[in-house]
Amino acid sequence: MDNRKRFGKKKEKLEFDQKLLDLARVARVVKGGRRFSFRATMVIGNRKGKVGVGVAKGPDASVAINKAITEAKKTLLEIHNMTETIPFSIEEKFGAARVLLKPAYRGKGIVAGGAVRAVIELAGIKNLTAKSLGAANKLNVAQATMKALRKLNEMPNYGMKKNIKGVDKRDEKVLKMVKKSVESEKSFLKAKELKAEKTK
């Protein structure tokens, strides 16, 4: 009976989606020889504007992964004024890694790979193109992507103004498309609210 109750329980829904970026076996030289452990790099996000990256070591893979998830929660970034894309091109680097993120129109999807894709997907951005221009270290690429997303939050009005430092002139067409997309989304939600009020 107890077993049936235990196995009949539904699994609790996780607060964040998780993605393992990298799991490596590392060694540390000590007096008695070499001590082996595992290093895990995790990306977590709720696909609604919150995303974090964490790295940690542990005596086995599961311990390292759980520790990395805890670290990722400590570094959670909340993207302000979340939309389906970003308002302008942005380039950032972390260590030897360098990433370039560009806005994309609705329906384009995410044109990116590896660590950049993992961070963008779990952040909840749906349309974006990206390039990794420097070293391919997964942790550094993920951190460079996080740095770029943080920069968006620092821009007034989420970078929607034309004369903002960091806005590429070549992106003006995309900016107009993004603004149009945001405006149509707002008007759609407003119409939905009015319809809901009428049916009450």
pLDDT tens sequence across 57-95? 999 999 999 999 999 999 999 988 778 888 888 999 999
Considering the domain architecture, whether residues 84 and 123 belong to the same structural domain is answered as yes
Considering the domain architecture, whether residues 87 and 58 belong to the same structural domain is answered as no
CATH number at residue 53: 3.30.160.20
Count of the separate structural domains present in the chain: 2
Two tokens, residue 194: 């009015």
- The more confident residue out of 193 and 78 is 78
Which pLDDT value is given to residue 1? 47
Q: DSSP assignment, residue 188?
A: H
Q: How far is CA 16 from the centre of its chain?
A: 11
E strands along the chain, which residues? Answer: 17-30, 33-45, 50-58, 77-78, 90-94, 97-103, 110-111, 128-132
Q: What range does the domain containing 107 cover?
A: 80-165
Residues in the chain: 200
Which pLDDT value is given to residue 28? 84
Tell me: pLDDT of 36 over 50: yes
Tell me: pLDDT of 51 over 90: yes
Which pLDDT value is given to residue 169? 47
Considering the domain architecture, whether residues 60 and 85 belong to the same structural domain is answered as no
- SS3 track for 109-134: CEECCHHHHHHHHHHCCCCEEEEECC
Considering the domain architecture, whether residues 25 and 70 belong to the same structural domain is answered as yes
Considering the domain architecture, whether residues 90 and 64 belong to the same structural domain is answered as no
SS3 at position 193: helix
Evaluate whether 176 touches 133 at the Cβ level (below 8 Å): no
Choosing from 45, 77, 109, the residue where a domain stops is 77
- Measured distance CA(147)–CA(35) in Å, rounded: 33
Q: Over the stretch 138-166, which tens digit does the pLDDT of each residue have? A: 999 999 999 999 988 887 554 444 333 34
- Measured distance CA(118)–CA(80) in Å, rounded: 19
Tell me: pLDDT of 173 over 60: no
Average of per-residue pLDDT values in the chain: 81
Which pLDDT value is given to residue 58? 94
Considering the domain architecture, whether residues 71 and 84 belong to the same structural domain is answered as no
Task: Over range 111-132, report the average pLDDT.
Answer: 93
